[in-house]
Structures are given as C-alpha cells and as structure tokens.
A and B are shown apart, each in its own frame.
Chain A
Amino acid sequence: MVQEETNTIEASTAHDTEAIIDIHGLYKSFGEHNDVLKGIDLTVKKGENLVLLGKSGSGKSIIIKCLVGLVEPDKGEIKVFDNDILYLKESELNKIRIRIGFLFQNAALYDSMTVRENLEFPLKRHSKDLSAKEVEDAVKEVLESVGLADAIDKMPSELSGGMRKRIGLARTLILKPEIMLYDEPTTGLDTITSREISELILAIQKKNKTSSIIITHDMACAKLTGDRIAILRDGVIGVQGLYDELEKSNDEWVRSFFI
C-alpha cells in the first residue's frame, strides 16, 4: 500500500530535469542484528530541495554520509554527478567532495581557528593560486551572504548556536558547491532563528541553483525549504511526494509527521 502511494505521488511530482544524485539499493548495517538501511532508492534532481524525514535513528544521516564517502555502505549504488562514488579513488572522491557542501548538525567549526581562518582554510587548500586579497574578498562576500560580516574575527566559542550554523553554512558555500547536504540545520535553535536558517537554505538554492538534501525534524523548515519530501520507514524510503499531499495522506503514520 505504501509502495502504491509512493508511485502515485512520485508520478505527480516528476521533474523533467536530470538526476544529480541517484541512490539505488543502498544497504548499511552496524553489527549483525542492526540493519539500518535496507535498500534505499532515492533520486535528487538538479536544482531540487529534497527533505528527508524519519524517526530518530532511522538512518537519515547515514544516507548523506554515504553520499560523501564518510560511511561505507554494505551494498548499493550511489551516483553523484554520474560518478559511482563507491568505486572512486580517494583523489577522485575528493574532487567530487569539493562540489558538495555538508552542513553538520553542530556546524563542526574548527575550534582552534577564528571564523576568518575557518572560511579561508578550505579555500586556500583548494585554490592555491588565489591572492590574499581574493581570499579576503571571498570570505567577506560569503559572510555577508549569511549576514555575519561582523563575526569575522571571532572564535567559534564566542558564537551562538544560530551563528555557528550560519558560519558552517558560509564555510561550505565558499567552495561554491552544486549540492548541499543539511544534517538537521535547525535543531536546537529557537523558532525565529530556525526560520532564518530555513530562509537562508531557500536563498542558497535560488542564488546558487544548488540541489539539496535536507534532513530535519522541523516541519516548518520542511514546508518552507522542501520541493519534495521523502520519509524513511524501516530502512527504506516509505513514501515520497509534495508536502501538501503527504500531509493529507491516508496513512496515519505518514500524517503523524505533520502534526
């Protein structure tokens, strides 16, 4: 029944654009009796924001970590920009990683570096021919885009949760990624800051034409940012479709996410 609904909704939301992320039959287990992913099939089209919902511990973060090679799946196929990332050498994978931005749940800012150094670090590592002024301009531009130009010389410990998320976002944006992966971007933030982050995600999609996977439990964020919603259930994508369609689903379990 779930499969039927999936097919129906998928048909109604089909995009004509090319798939930029294509996951097929993804399996991952931790130990013998802890199968987390049991055959994930998921596609993200170019320029699309896909929101991934699911209960805590259902394996949402594992999926995006598999996408960037942080977690090695047991079985399956992951195509990003038409490259099967499971068969890439480390150097080839790194070239793909540069084109993907990853916002971690706690922003993962480098504690020992200032905001400026956090932003300069990936840029200097990947664009060694840039002059000091070009690096400085890029840092200022990206900080202005997240509304935190004044925080340039602060240490991460001096920033609030919302500011850390914005700086984390700025650090990924500085490499001009084509894909953004957000791991619970609004968790632990107040309603107003959550909305600001959600609006920022939307602005990034519009300005940079990025494709994104947004993992969240925040339904306001899901509604605002998601072009499409997919819900993880028992290790597979149980259902996917538009927010409004899923909100009125016949399946009580699906509806329970929207209460």
Chain B
Amino acid sequence: MGYKSLPLVSITGLIMGLVLTIQSRPTLAEFGAESWLPGMVALSLIREIAPVITALICAGKIASGIGAELGSMKVTEQIDAMEVSGINPFTYLVATRIMATTLMVPLLVIFADFIGILGGYIGVNIHDHVSLFRYFSQVFDSLNFVDLVPATVKTFFFGFFIGLIGSYKGYNAANGTESVGKAANAAVVAASLAIFIIDLLAVQITDFLFNTYN
C-alpha cells in the first residue's frame, strides 16, 4: 500500500519543490531576497504543500483502491463468506487497512518533504550556484519544532481518514458491479474533502496552541 506509492510520491514531490522554487524566485528577487528561497520552499513544503498533496494522492490511489477492493469483495459475497466462517471481516479487512494507512501516509509525507526539498535545490541551481551543504544549512536554519511536529501529526489523521473512508465506502457498497465503481469514486471524493477539513482544523489548532502564524 505504501511502497507502491513511492514512485508517484517521488515524482510529484520533486515537481512540487522544483515548481515552487521557480515560481517563487522572481517575487523574492524583486526584494533582493533570493537567499530566503531554500527556507521558504522548505517551510511551504513541510507545513502545507507536501502533506496535503501527498494525502490527496493517497486519497486518489489508496482510498479508491480500498473502496474498490472491499466493494468488489462485498458484491461477490467474499465478505459474507468470511463472516459465515466465523471470521470477523472488520478486524481482518478494515482495521488492518486503517492501521496501514495511518502509519504509511506520514512516512510518505516525510519522504515527499525530502524529495520536494531536493527539487527545490535543483530549482535554486537553475539560476544560482548553491552547494547542497549550503542549501540544506539554509533549509534547517529556517525550520523549528512547530513547523515539523504539527505538520507531521496531522498526516496521521490524513492517513486514518483515508483508510476509514475507503473502507467504509467499500464495506457498504450496494449489490451489483456498478456499486464498486461508485464506492471507489465516493471514497476519493469524501477522503479528499476530509483532508481539506482536517487541514483547516489542524492549522487552527496549531495556531491556537503555538501561535505560529502571527
């Protein structure tokens, strides 16, 4: 579930970092603040862009996959077969998937953070020549506890809800093959929406607790 998303997360992470750097550079250059670029890119990626984009990718790939797989199992009576043989399908099919997404999404986000920052390094070096050591020094100088921890904590919630919503939609698919597609589709839509809502709440809570954005 997680490692199969690595290629997709790598490509999107790299592009996110690269594009963000290229797009931000002219604005910072107007104020002669190009040296802020590594820090700004790292902050944007770690606080917001990498968690949300990675979670949305996971919603599209994993939530739909879970929705379709469980929906298909429901329609073909595989879940019923499990239940009548005295095995709790919730424990075997749902709990394991939720646990997997809750643990894997944060790891994917951390990976996307790193790849995105590397993308930023490539972006910075299109116009300037900055060594990798200097680039990462500037990145780490600009980061502190409240940038890393709340942003990582919210990804556990992203993962939990991606697994929960995908499982719920699949598990409750109606009969008929058409419902498998509907379950997958509904899982993506609901999980994506949930990610934005959780993100909004996380920003409010982080601001309240750490007064980060003042």
Contact = CB atoms under 8 A, between A and B. Distances in A.
B78 interface: yes
Interface stretch (A92-100, A132-140, A185-193, A235-243): A92-100
Contacts of B82: 110
B86 A95 contact: yes
A68 B80 CA distance: 10
Contacts of A159: none
A100 B85 CA distance: 8
Nearest to A70: B80
Contacts of A95: 86
Contacts, number: 55
B85 A175 contact: yes
Contacts of B84: 68, 70, 97, 100, 102
Contacts of B137: none
Could you say which of B72, B73, B85, B87 has the most chain A C-beta atoms within 10 Å of its C-beta?
B85
Contacts of B80: 65, 70, 104, 108
Contacts of A121: 87
Contacts of B207: none
A106 B77 contact: yes
Interface string A50-77: 0000000000000001001110000000
A122 B72 contact: no
B178 interface: no
A64 to B, nearest CB: 10
B78 A122 contact: no
Interface of B: 72-73, 76-78, 80-88
7 contacts: A97-B85, A104-B77, A105-B77, A108-B80, A110-B78, A122-B85, A171-B85
